[in-house]
Amino acid sequence: MPQYRIVTVDAFTKVAFKGNQAAIVAVPSDSPIDDDTVQAIAAEMNISETAFITPLMLQGPDEFQQSRVFGLRWFTPTCEVKLCGHATLAAAHALKYELGNEHEEVYFETASGTLLVYSGPYNSYNMSLPVDPPAPMPVTDDVKTIVANILGEYKPSVQVAISPSLRYMVVYDPAKAAEDIAQLEPMLSPELVAAGKRENVIGVIVTAKSSSHDFCSRFFAPWCGINEDPVTGSAYTVLGPFWQERLGKKSLKAYQCSKRGGEIHVQTEFNDDMDVAIDGYAVTVVSGTINFN
C-alpha cells in the first residue's frame, strides 16, 4: 500500500487554528499519483486546498532535502485551481520544517508560472505571486444578483471590478466599514452560483477600509467548492493593486476578517511590476502519512 508524507499547515498566522489550512502531500519523483487519486485525496481532506509537491531536477532518497525546484499543484475538494497563495506558503513551510529542505529559497513550477518563496526567521515567509489588477466590470443583471447576495442589496454606489486572469470579482461599498464586512452573512444561493457561472466568476472578494489595517476583506468561492476561504493569498494579487490605486501606497497591511482570520502584508510594484510580494507566517498542525490502494 503506497504511503506518502502529509502535513497540515495553518498559513498566515503565528498560532495554530487560525489563518487558513492547507494539506501538503509530498510526492516523490519516482512515485507519481494519478489525477483522479489526487482529486480524491483533496476531497478526503475537505479543506480549502490540498497541495502536492514533487522535486524537480533531483531524484533519490534526499530529493526533498536537497532540491531547490519543485512542481506544485493545488486542489480544492472539487477541482484544481490556477493559483493558491496560502498553500504555496504552507508548502514552503512543510519543506523547511517537516521535510528538512536545506535552502532558504525554493522555486515552485505551477500553472501560474514559477513562484519564488523565501523563508525567514520565526516561521516567516515572503513569496512573489503574479499581479492580477482588476478592471471595472460592466454592471449586468447577473452582477447585480451577485452583489445583492453578498451585501444584502445592490446599490449603484457599489464599485465592482474583475481580475482578468484569476476571474476574482471585487465588491467595494465605500459606505461599509471593516466591522460591516466581518458581520456579513452572504446568501450563497443557487441564483448567485448561476449568475457567477454566466459571468465566468471564480471567486468574490468583498473589501473595505480598516482602522487597524489599510484594508480588510473576505473571500467566497462556491464555484470551487469553498463557501468561504478563511485567508486567501491569491486574492492579494488583485487587492494589492486595487487598494494601491485608492490609498496611494505600495506597502499595504491587510486583515482577512473571516472567523479564523489572518494577517497579510502586501508589497505592490514588485519584480518590474509583474508580481506582488506577500509576507506571512505559518505553523504545522498535523504531520503523518496518507495511505491508499
Residue 154: CA count within 13 A, CB half-sphere: 14
* Rounded Cα–Cα distance for residues 93 and 263 (Å): 17
To the query of whether residue 49 is one of the catalytic residues in this protein, the response is yes
* Rounded Cα–Cα distance for residues 155 and 272 (Å): 37
The answer to whether the beta carbons of residues 76 and 222 sit under 8 Å apart is: no
Residues 6+ apart with CB under 8 A from 61: none
Tally: H helices and E strands in the chain = 7, 17
Which of 44, 49, 199, 245 is labelled catalytic?
A: 49
- Beta-carbon neighbour count of residue 109 at 10 Å? 15
Strand boundaries in 131-259, DSSP class E: 135-136, 159-162, 168-172, 203-209, 215-221, 226-229, 251-256
**What sections of 53-166 are H helices per DSSP?**
63-66, 85-97, 141-151
Closest alpha carbon to 26 in 56, 48, 1, 51: 51
* Rounded Cα–Cα distance for residues 140 and 113 (Å): 33
Which residues are identified as catalytic?
Answer: 49
